[in-house]
């Protein structure tokens, strides 16, 4: 009996005020370093953005953000544990600390950035929502979809955009909402829906996986702005800075024409901007708690933004998406990174 009393008292003492959440306060960078691994939330499988390739190696534009962060911290791009997440699970995974970075074609919206406990670190792909229909339907514009059934995946910004678009155009439609992509596609394939709607980049990626891609067309209407980017938990500005500047370093590297191939030579460049980015001059690594060659490691191990885009979703890939809005600002696109100085 005395042991019981003692145990009860010990339990009581253990529950003293303020002991609970203290662990959550420590810095994410320290936690990642101590673990020796970055935990990165990615898509369960979206060719070009994040999908396991041969031998289970993850590849894609979003995966390259994880690899970039890993390169900056560990000087190795492979110290990443990829956590595949559905659209519905992703924010909870980040909020609960199961992952350190969410790099899963996630749209930056105000409510997510403010009241969901997330911070977006930047935009690695400018996207918009569109529709895919079967060619045999003879539809050339989304405005012709009156009375159509439209398949949607839940857990995304898609449902709301869809409702907004049809409401403002006063068109009737029937949504069919599924939780997982395979079921959405099965329903679309079986003719349950006339159209399938999601971000255009995804439509192109998914079209490749359908039996005969030529039987499907993506309609020209873009009904929303979908700036996709990596997100981190609120409350750790240093960690948000690391992820943000990994992305900026990749974009700046493209602008300065530093590639995986020439990064060694570029270290001897006379251009002060290049020298600062590669850590030859200045102490910029210290500002984010990393070594001075952090950007050098990213470019050497992962490449610049243009290289990543090209090999994953651009001309060098099966998707063949044009740079369009994702070209550098000086080439008429939207990708623009603040300078390193």
Partner 1 sequence: MTGASKPQFARRRPRSLSDYFYDPKTRGVVLQILVALLLVYFISEIVSNTIRNLEEQGIASGFGFLDRTAGFDISQSLIPYANTMTYARAFLVGLLNTLLVAVLGIILATLIGFVIGVARLSKNWLIATLAGVYIETLRNIPPLLMLFAVYFGVLKNLPAPRKSLELPFSSFLNVRGLYVPAPQWEAGMSVVLAAIAAAILGIVFLNWRARRIRIQTGALKPVVLPSLLLLIGLPSAAFLATGMPVTFDVPELGRFNLKGGMVVLPEFIALVAGLTLYTAAFIAEIVRSGILSVPKGQSEAAAALGLKESHAMRLVIIPQALRVIIPPLTNQYLNLTKNSSLAVAIGYPDLVSVFAGTVLNQTNQAVEVILITMGVYLTISLLTSVLMNWFNARMALVER
Q: Does 194 bind partner 1 (CB under 8 A)?
A: yes
Nearest residue (CB) to partner 1, 138 versus 283: 138
Build a one-symbol-per-residue string for 152-191: x at contacts with partner 1 by CB under 8 A, - elsewhere: --xxx--xx-xxx-xx-----xxxxxxxx--x--xx--xx
Instruction: Please report, for residues 141, 176, 197, 204, 214, the alpha-carbon distance to residue 132 in angstroms, rounded to integers and kept in the order given.
Output: 10, 15, 6, 9, 12
Give me the DSSP letters along 275-313: HHHTTSSS-TTGGGTS-TTHHHHHHHHT--HHHHHHHHT
Nearest residue (CB) to partner 1, 22 versus 34: 22
* Smallest distance from partner 1 to CB 169, Å: 13
Burial class (CB in 10 A: 0-12, 13-18, 19+), 174: exposed
DSSP 215: G
d(CA 202, CA 153) in angstroms, rounded, equals 12
Q: Rule CB under 8 A: choose which of 35, 143, 192, 341 binds partner 1.
A: 192
Say whether 7 sits in a helix, a strand or coil: helix
d(CA 97, CA 162) in angstroms, rounded, equals 31
Q: Does 215 bind partner 1 (CB under 8 A)?
A: no
Burial class (CB in 10 A: 0-12, 13-18, 19+), 170: exposed
Q: Rule CB under 8 A: choose which of 55, 111, 214, 265 binds partner 1.
A: 111
Sole window of 36-44, 138-146, 217-225, 256-264 interacting with partner 1 (rule: CB under 8 A): 138-146
Q: Does 95 bind partner 1 (CB under 8 A)?
A: yes
Say whether 224 sits in a helix, a strand or coil: coil
* Smallest distance from partner 1 to CB 146, Å: 7
Q: Residue numbers of the site for partner 1 (CB under 8 A)?
A: 1, 4, 8, 11-12, 15, 20-21, 24, 87-88, 91-92, 95, 111-112, 114-117, 137, 144-149, 151, 154-156, 159-160, 162-164, 166-167, 173-180, 183, 186-187, 190-192, 194, 233-235
């Amino acid at each position: 009996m005395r042991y019981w009393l003692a145990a009860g008292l010990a339990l009581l003492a253990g529950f003293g005020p303020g002991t609970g959440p203290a662990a959550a306060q420590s810095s994410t960078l320290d936690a990642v370093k101590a673990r020796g691994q970055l935990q990165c939330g990615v898509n369960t499988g979206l060719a070009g953005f994040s999908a396991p390739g041969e031998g289970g190696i993850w590849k894609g534009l979003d995966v390259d953000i994880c690899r970039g962060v890993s390169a900056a911290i560990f000087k190795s791009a492979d110290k990443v544990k990829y956590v595949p997440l559905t659209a519905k699970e992703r924010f909870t995974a980040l909020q609960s600390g199961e992952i350190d970075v969410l790099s899963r074609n996630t749209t930056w919206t105000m409510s997510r950035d403010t009241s969901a406990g997330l911070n977006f670190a930047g935009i690695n792909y400018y996207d918009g929502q569109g529709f895919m229909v079967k060619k045999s339907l003879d539809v050339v514009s989304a405005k012709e979809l009156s009375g159509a059934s439209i398949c949607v995946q839940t857990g995304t910004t898609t449902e709301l955009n869809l409702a907004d678009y049809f409401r403002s155009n006063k068109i009737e439609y029937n949504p069919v909402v599924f939780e997982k992509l395979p079921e959405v596609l099965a329903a679309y394939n079986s003719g349950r829906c006339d159209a399938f709607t999601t971000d255009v980049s995804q439509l192109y990626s998914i079209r490749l996986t359908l039996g005969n891609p030529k039987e499907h067309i993506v309609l020209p209407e873009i009904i929303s702005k979908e700036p996709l980017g990596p997100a981190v938990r609120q409350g750790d500005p240093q960690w948000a800075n690391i992820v943000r500047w990994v992305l900026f370093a990749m974009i700046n590297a493209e602008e300065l024409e530093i590639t995986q191939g020439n990064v060694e030579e570029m270290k001897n460049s006379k251009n002060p901007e290049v020298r600062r980015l590669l850590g030859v001059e200045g102490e910029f690594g210290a500002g984010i708690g990393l070594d001075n060659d952090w950007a050098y490691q990213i470019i050497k191990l992962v490449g610049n933004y243009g290289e990543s885009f090209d090999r994953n979703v651009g001309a060098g890939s099966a998707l063949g998406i044009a740079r369009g809005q994702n070209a550098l600002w000086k080439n008429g696109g939207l990708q623009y990174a603040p300078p390193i100085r």
